[in-house]
């Protein structure tokens, strides 16, 4: 069972209108929850644009004596 919390958020007018057009005034919470779950559960790097790197092919750059 998923618990729901009531909160207040502040949206820009254009964002609110887009949500209202897409989901309707009564279903705005459901759409916002869906968007947030998708955004927060993606497995991207913390920078969002960095791809995962494999260090196995990196060379050792220490000077040889």
Joined tokens for residue 64 = 């040889």
CA angle (49 as vertex; 10, 51 as ends), nearest 5: 140
Q: Report which of 15, 51, 54 is spatially closest to residue 35, judged by C-alpha positions.
A: 15
What average pLDDT does this structure show over 10-20? 95
What average pLDDT does this structure show over 18-39? 92
Task: Inform me whether the pLDDT recorded for 19 exceeds 90.
Answer: yes
pLDDT category of residue 9 using cuts at 50, 70 and 90: very high
Give tens-digit pLDDT for 22-32.
999 899 999 99
Indicate the pTM of the whole model: 0.58
- Within 8 A by CB and 6+ apart from 19, the residues are 11, 28, 31, 32
- CB-CB contact of 32 with 19 (8 Å): yes
């Amino acid at each position: 069972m998923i618990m729901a919390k009531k909160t207040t958020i502040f949206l820009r007018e254009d964002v609110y209108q887009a949500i209202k057009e897409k989901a309707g005034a009564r279903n705005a919470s459901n759409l916002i929850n869906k968007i947030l779950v998708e955004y927060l559960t993606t497995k991207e790097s913390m920078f969002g644009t960095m791809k995962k790197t494999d260090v196995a092919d990196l060379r050792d750059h220490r000077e040889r004596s």
